[in-house]
Protein backbone atom coordinates (compact mmCIF):
# COMPACT_ATOMS: atom_id res chain seq x y z
CA UNK A 1 0.00 0.00 0.00
CA UNK A 2 1.27 3.43 -0.92
CA UNK A 3 1.44 5.40 2.33
CA UNK A 4 1.73 9.17 2.41
CA UNK A 5 3.60 11.14 5.04
CA UNK A 6 4.17 14.50 6.66
CA UNK A 7 7.78 15.53 7.24
CA UNK A 8 8.56 16.68 10.78
CA UNK A 9 10.80 19.61 11.63
CA UNK A 10 14.28 19.05 13.09
CA UNK A 11 14.46 15.27 12.51
CA UNK A 12 12.87 15.18 9.02
CA UNK A 13 11.11 12.01 10.19
CA UNK A 14 8.29 10.88 7.92
CA UNK A 15 5.07 10.68 9.93
CA UNK A 16 2.32 8.67 8.23
CA UNK A 17 -0.62 10.91 7.41
CA UNK A 18 -3.04 8.19 8.53
CA UNK A 19 -2.62 6.49 11.88
CA UNK A 20 -4.63 4.22 14.10
CA UNK A 21 -6.05 6.02 17.15
CA UNK A 22 -6.15 4.00 20.37
CA UNK A 23 -8.58 6.08 22.44
CA UNK A 24 -11.49 3.94 23.71
CA UNK A 25 -9.88 0.73 22.46
CA UNK A 26 -10.85 -1.12 25.61
CA UNK A 27 -11.55 -4.67 24.48
CA UNK A 28 -8.47 -6.68 23.48
CA UNK A 29 -6.21 -3.78 22.41
CA UNK A 30 -3.43 -6.25 21.57
CA UNK A 31 -5.49 -7.90 18.84
CA UNK A 32 -6.93 -4.63 17.54
CA UNK A 33 -3.52 -2.95 17.18
CA UNK A 34 -2.01 -6.09 15.69
CA UNK A 35 -4.87 -6.17 13.14
CA UNK A 36 -4.30 -2.51 12.26
CA UNK A 37 -0.58 -3.08 11.67
CA UNK A 38 -1.25 -6.25 9.69
CA UNK A 39 -3.56 -4.26 7.42
CA UNK A 40 -1.06 -1.50 6.72
CA UNK A 41 -1.16 1.05 9.55
CA UNK A 42 2.27 2.28 10.53
CA UNK A 43 1.36 5.08 12.95
CA UNK A 44 -0.09 3.97 16.30
CA UNK A 45 -1.38 6.87 18.41
CA UNK A 46 -1.76 6.14 22.12
CA UNK A 47 -1.62 7.85 25.50
CA UNK A 48 -1.07 6.94 29.12
CA UNK A 49 -4.58 8.09 30.01
CA UNK A 50 -6.16 5.70 27.51
CA UNK A 51 -5.38 2.94 30.01
CA UNK A 52 -4.41 0.39 27.36
CA UNK A 53 -0.68 0.89 26.73
CA UNK A 54 0.24 -2.61 27.91
CA UNK A 55 -2.12 -4.16 25.35
CA UNK A 56 -1.16 -1.71 22.62
CA UNK A 57 2.50 -2.53 23.20
CA UNK A 58 1.78 -6.25 23.01
CA UNK A 59 0.06 -5.76 19.65
CA UNK A 60 3.05 -3.80 18.34
CA UNK A 61 5.57 -6.35 19.58
CA UNK A 62 3.55 -9.26 18.24
CA UNK A 63 3.61 -7.71 14.77
CA UNK A 64 7.37 -7.15 15.07
CA UNK A 65 8.05 -10.69 16.30
CA UNK A 66 6.04 -12.18 13.45
CA UNK A 67 8.08 -10.18 10.94
CA UNK A 68 5.14 -8.12 9.65
CA UNK A 69 7.14 -4.96 10.40
CA UNK A 70 10.42 -3.86 11.91
CA UNK A 71 10.35 -1.38 14.78
CA UNK A 72 11.85 1.22 12.43
CA UNK A 73 8.82 0.82 10.13
CA UNK A 74 6.46 2.06 12.84
CA UNK A 75 5.72 5.53 14.17
CA UNK A 76 4.60 5.11 17.78
CA UNK A 77 3.03 8.01 19.66
CA UNK A 78 2.19 8.46 23.33
CA UNK A 79 1.25 11.40 25.52
CA UNK A 80 2.31 12.87 28.86
CA UNK A 81 -0.64 13.01 31.23
CA UNK A 82 -1.57 16.11 33.21
CA UNK A 83 -0.50 14.91 36.67
CA UNK A 84 3.12 14.52 35.53
CA UNK A 85 3.90 18.05 34.31
CA UNK A 86 6.29 18.85 37.12
CA UNK A 87 9.91 18.68 36.03
CA UNK A 88 10.53 16.01 38.65
CA UNK A 89 8.03 13.59 37.05
CA UNK A 90 8.35 13.89 33.25
CA UNK A 91 11.15 11.33 32.86
CA UNK A 92 9.37 8.85 35.11
CA UNK A 93 6.20 9.22 33.04
CA UNK A 94 7.84 8.27 29.74
CA UNK A 95 9.78 5.51 31.48
CA UNK A 96 6.46 4.04 32.64
CA UNK A 97 5.01 4.25 29.13
CA UNK A 98 8.05 2.57 27.58
CA UNK A 99 8.01 -0.16 30.22
CA UNK A 100 4.29 -0.80 29.72
CA UNK A 101 4.66 -0.90 25.94
CA UNK A 102 7.94 -2.89 26.05
CA UNK A 103 9.61 -0.39 23.73
CA UNK A 104 13.02 1.27 23.79
CA UNK A 105 11.85 4.61 22.40
CA UNK A 106 8.86 6.52 21.04
CA UNK A 107 8.71 8.32 17.73
CA UNK A 108 6.63 11.16 19.19
CA UNK A 109 5.80 12.13 22.78
CA UNK A 110 3.10 14.75 23.23
CA UNK A 111 2.00 17.01 26.09
CA UNK A 112 -1.61 15.83 26.18
CA UNK A 113 -3.20 18.97 27.68
CA UNK A 114 -1.67 22.26 28.85
CA UNK A 115 -3.20 21.63 32.28
CA UNK A 116 -0.74 21.06 35.17
CA UNK A 117 -2.76 18.95 37.58
CA UNK A 118 -1.53 18.19 41.07
CA UNK A 119 0.82 15.20 41.14
CA UNK A 120 -0.57 11.88 42.27
CA UNK A 121 1.88 9.04 42.90
CA UNK A 122 1.33 6.33 40.24
CA UNK A 123 1.50 3.77 43.05
CA UNK A 124 -1.72 5.31 44.36
CA UNK A 125 -3.50 5.86 41.02
CA UNK A 126 -2.27 5.58 37.44
CA UNK A 127 -2.82 7.53 35.37
CA UNK A 128 -3.63 10.35 37.75
CA UNK A 129 -7.15 11.79 38.13
CA UNK A 130 -8.68 15.08 37.06
CA UNK A 131 -10.40 15.42 40.44
CA UNK A 132 -8.89 15.18 43.92
CA UNK A 133 -11.45 15.29 46.72
CA UNK A 134 -14.01 16.46 44.20
CA UNK A 135 -11.92 19.37 42.90
CA UNK A 136 -9.57 20.06 40.01
CA UNK A 137 -6.30 20.99 41.74
CA UNK A 138 -3.55 22.68 39.73
CA UNK A 139 0.12 22.82 40.67
CA UNK A 140 2.84 25.36 39.88
CA UNK A 141 4.50 23.51 37.02
CA UNK A 142 5.13 26.13 34.31
CA UNK A 143 5.21 25.11 30.67
CA UNK A 144 8.75 26.41 30.13
CA UNK A 145 10.07 23.99 32.77
CA UNK A 146 8.00 21.12 31.39
CA UNK A 147 9.16 21.76 27.83
CA UNK A 148 12.81 21.76 28.91
CA UNK A 149 12.23 18.28 30.38
CA UNK A 150 10.57 17.15 27.15
CA UNK A 151 13.68 18.27 25.27
CA UNK A 152 15.83 16.22 27.65
CA UNK A 153 13.83 13.14 26.64
CA UNK A 154 14.91 13.74 23.05
CA UNK A 155 18.55 14.14 24.10
CA UNK A 156 18.32 10.90 26.09
CA UNK A 157 17.03 8.99 23.05
CA UNK A 158 13.70 8.14 24.68
CA UNK A 159 11.67 9.87 21.98
CA UNK A 160 12.67 11.12 18.56
CA UNK A 161 10.17 13.96 18.44
CA UNK A 162 8.09 15.96 20.91
CA UNK A 163 4.76 17.64 20.34
CA UNK A 164 1.71 19.24 21.88
CA UNK A 165 -2.04 18.69 21.97
CA UNK A 166 -5.01 20.91 22.78
CA UNK A 167 -2.85 24.09 22.82
CA UNK A 168 -4.15 27.42 21.55
CA UNK A 169 -2.18 29.93 19.48
CA UNK A 170 -1.26 32.13 22.43
CA UNK A 171 0.37 29.30 24.34
CA UNK A 172 2.16 28.07 21.22
CA UNK A 173 3.54 31.56 20.58
CA UNK A 174 4.88 31.69 24.11
CA UNK A 175 6.40 28.21 23.82
CA UNK A 176 8.20 29.16 20.61
CA UNK A 177 10.00 32.00 22.42
CA UNK A 178 11.96 29.60 24.62
CA UNK A 179 11.86 26.18 22.92
CA UNK A 180 15.20 24.71 21.90
CA UNK A 181 13.25 22.06 19.96
CA UNK A 182 9.99 23.45 18.61
CA UNK A 183 7.00 21.09 18.71
CA UNK A 184 6.94 18.70 15.77
CA UNK A 185 3.16 18.40 15.84
CA UNK A 186 -0.02 19.90 17.25
CA UNK A 187 -2.89 17.47 17.80
CA UNK A 188 -6.36 19.05 17.96
CA UNK A 189 -10.02 18.21 17.54
CA UNK A 190 -10.75 18.80 13.85
CA UNK A 191 -13.72 17.89 11.67
CA UNK A 192 -16.20 19.73 9.41
CA UNK A 193 -18.16 21.02 12.42
CA UNK A 194 -14.92 22.45 13.91
CA UNK A 195 -12.61 23.38 11.01
CA UNK A 196 -10.25 25.77 12.86
CA UNK A 197 -8.91 27.10 9.57
CA UNK A 198 -6.93 30.11 10.93
CA UNK A 199 -5.25 27.98 13.62
CA UNK A 200 -4.33 25.20 11.17
CA UNK A 201 -2.89 27.69 8.68
CA UNK A 202 -0.87 29.58 11.30
CA UNK A 203 0.53 26.45 12.95
CA UNK A 204 1.60 24.99 9.60
CA UNK A 205 3.33 28.29 8.83
CA UNK A 206 5.40 27.75 11.99
CA UNK A 207 6.64 24.44 10.50
CA UNK A 208 4.55 22.45 12.95
CA UNK A 209 2.47 19.63 11.50
CA UNK A 210 -1.18 19.32 12.50
CA UNK A 211 -2.91 16.08 13.44
CA UNK A 212 -6.69 15.85 13.69
CA UNK A 213 -8.46 13.80 16.30
CA UNK A 214 -12.19 13.01 16.18
CA UNK A 215 -12.33 13.28 12.38
CA UNK A 216 -15.78 11.71 12.44
CA UNK A 217 -17.18 14.42 14.73
CA UNK A 218 -19.63 13.73 17.54
CA UNK A 219 -19.73 9.93 17.48
CA UNK A 220 -17.13 9.41 20.23
CA UNK A 221 -18.62 11.98 22.61
CA UNK A 222 -22.31 11.15 22.90
CA UNK A 223 -21.86 9.83 26.45
CA UNK A 224 -20.10 13.04 27.55
CA UNK A 225 -21.54 15.93 25.58
CA UNK A 226 -25.11 17.17 25.11
CA UNK A 227 -24.12 18.87 21.85
CA UNK A 228 -22.73 15.56 20.58
CA UNK A 229 -26.07 13.89 21.27
CA UNK A 230 -28.03 16.47 19.29
CA UNK A 231 -25.65 17.07 16.37
CA UNK A 232 -26.26 15.12 13.17
CA UNK A 233 -23.56 12.43 13.02
CA UNK A 234 -21.14 13.41 10.27
CA UNK A 235 -21.14 9.87 8.92
CA UNK A 236 -24.91 10.27 8.37
CA UNK A 237 -24.87 13.89 7.18
CA UNK A 238 -26.56 14.39 3.82
CA UNK A 239 -23.72 16.57 2.49
CA UNK A 240 -21.05 14.01 3.38
CA UNK A 241 -23.14 11.10 2.10
CA UNK A 242 -23.78 12.91 -1.20
CA UNK A 243 -20.08 13.57 -1.74
CA UNK A 244 -19.29 9.95 -0.85
CA UNK A 245 -21.84 8.68 -3.35
CA UNK A 246 -20.43 10.93 -6.09
CA UNK A 247 -16.93 9.49 -5.63
CA UNK A 248 -17.99 5.91 -4.89
CA UNK A 249 -16.49 6.13 -1.41
CA UNK A 250 -17.74 5.83 2.16
CA UNK A 251 -18.60 8.89 4.28
CA UNK A 252 -15.66 8.00 6.54
CA UNK A 253 -13.28 8.05 3.58
CA UNK A 254 -14.60 11.49 2.54
CA UNK A 255 -14.06 12.89 6.05
CA UNK A 256 -10.51 11.55 6.19
CA UNK A 257 -9.72 12.74 2.67
CA UNK A 258 -10.95 16.24 3.57
CA UNK A 259 -8.33 16.53 6.32
CA UNK A 260 -5.56 14.94 4.25
CA UNK A 261 -6.13 17.50 1.50
CA UNK A 262 -5.43 20.18 4.13
CA UNK A 263 -2.09 18.43 4.89
CA UNK A 264 -3.52 17.36 8.23
CA UNK A 265 -2.87 13.86 9.61
CA UNK A 266 -5.79 11.74 10.80
CA UNK A 267 -6.24 9.02 13.43
CA UNK A 268 -9.36 6.99 12.62
CA UNK A 269 -10.36 4.28 15.05
CA UNK A 270 -12.56 1.30 14.36
CA UNK A 271 -12.91 -2.10 15.96
CA UNK A 272 -14.08 -3.64 12.68
CA UNK A 273 -11.34 -5.07 10.47
CA UNK A 274 -13.37 -4.18 7.37
CA UNK A 275 -13.53 -0.50 8.39
CA UNK A 276 -9.91 -0.55 9.56
CA UNK A 277 -8.97 -1.53 6.00
CA UNK A 278 -11.41 0.89 4.38
CA UNK A 279 -10.14 3.90 6.32
CA UNK A 280 -6.70 3.52 4.73
CA UNK A 281 -8.02 3.63 1.18
CA UNK A 282 -8.25 7.39 0.70
CA UNK A 283 -5.44 8.05 -1.76
CA UNK A 284 -7.22 6.98 -4.95
CA UNK A 285 -9.59 9.97 -5.23
CA UNK A 286 -9.66 13.72 -4.69
CA UNK A 287 -12.36 16.08 -3.52
CA UNK A 288 -13.17 18.81 -5.99
CA UNK A 289 -13.73 22.50 -5.34
CA UNK A 290 -17.49 22.06 -5.02
CA UNK A 291 -16.98 19.33 -2.41
CA UNK A 292 -14.75 21.61 -0.35
CA UNK A 293 -17.22 24.48 -0.66
CA UNK A 294 -20.07 22.29 0.59
CA UNK A 295 -18.04 20.97 3.52
CA UNK A 296 -16.90 24.48 4.41
CA UNK A 297 -20.53 25.43 5.02
CA UNK A 298 -20.77 22.82 7.78
CA UNK A 299 -18.42 24.71 10.10
CA UNK A 300 -20.28 25.64 13.30
CA UNK A 301 -17.28 26.02 15.63
CA UNK A 302 -18.83 23.06 17.42
CA UNK A 303 -16.38 21.48 19.85
CA UNK A 304 -17.20 18.14 21.44
CA UNK A 305 -14.02 17.57 23.48
CA UNK A 306 -14.60 20.60 25.70
CA UNK A 307 -13.53 20.17 29.32
CA UNK A 308 -16.97 21.43 30.29
CA UNK A 309 -18.38 18.17 28.89
CA UNK A 310 -16.54 16.39 31.71
CA UNK A 311 -17.72 18.89 34.38
CA UNK A 312 -14.26 20.48 34.44
CA UNK A 313 -14.73 24.24 34.71
CA UNK A 314 -11.63 25.30 32.75
CA UNK A 315 -12.29 27.39 29.60
CA UNK A 316 -9.26 25.84 27.93
CA UNK A 317 -10.09 26.83 24.37
CA UNK A 318 -11.42 30.33 25.03
* Residue from 20, 34, 50, 84 carrying the catalytic annotation: 50
- Say how far apart CA 268 and CA 234 lie, in whole Å: 14
Cα dihedral angle (24, 26, 32, 34), rounded to 10 degrees?
Answer: 100
Residue environment code for 277-298, b if the CB has 16+ CB neighbours within 10 A, otherwise e: bbbbbbeeeebeeebeebbeeb
CB-based contacts of 239, cutoff 8 Å, min separation 6: 294, 295, 297, 298
Residue 5 phi/psi, 5° resolution?
A: -135, 160
DSSP assignment string, 127-191? SPPS-BTTB--B----HHHHHHHHHHHHHTTSEEEEEEES--HHHHHHHHHH-SS--SEEEEE-B
Beta bridge partner(s), residue 111: 80, 164
SS3 264: strand
247 is in an annotated binding site: no
Q: Return the number of other C-beta atoms located less than 10 Å from residue 248's C-beta.
A: 9
Look up 50 and say whether it is catalytic.
yes
Q: How far apart are CA 61 and CA 47, in angstroms?
A: 17
* Nearest residue to 264 via CA among 225, 224, 211: 211
Active site residues: 50
Please state the residue numbers annotated as binding site for substrate. 112
Please state the residue numbers annotated as binding site. 112
Amino acid sequence: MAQEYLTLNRTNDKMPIIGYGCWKVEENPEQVVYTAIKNGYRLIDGAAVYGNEIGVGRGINRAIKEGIVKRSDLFVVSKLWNNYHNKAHVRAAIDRTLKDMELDYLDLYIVHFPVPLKYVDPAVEYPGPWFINGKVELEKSPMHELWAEMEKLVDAGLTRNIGISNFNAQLIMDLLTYAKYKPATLQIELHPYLQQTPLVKWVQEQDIQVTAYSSFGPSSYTVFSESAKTATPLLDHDVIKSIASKHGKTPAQVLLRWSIERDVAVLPKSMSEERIKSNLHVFSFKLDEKDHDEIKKLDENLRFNSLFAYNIDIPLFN
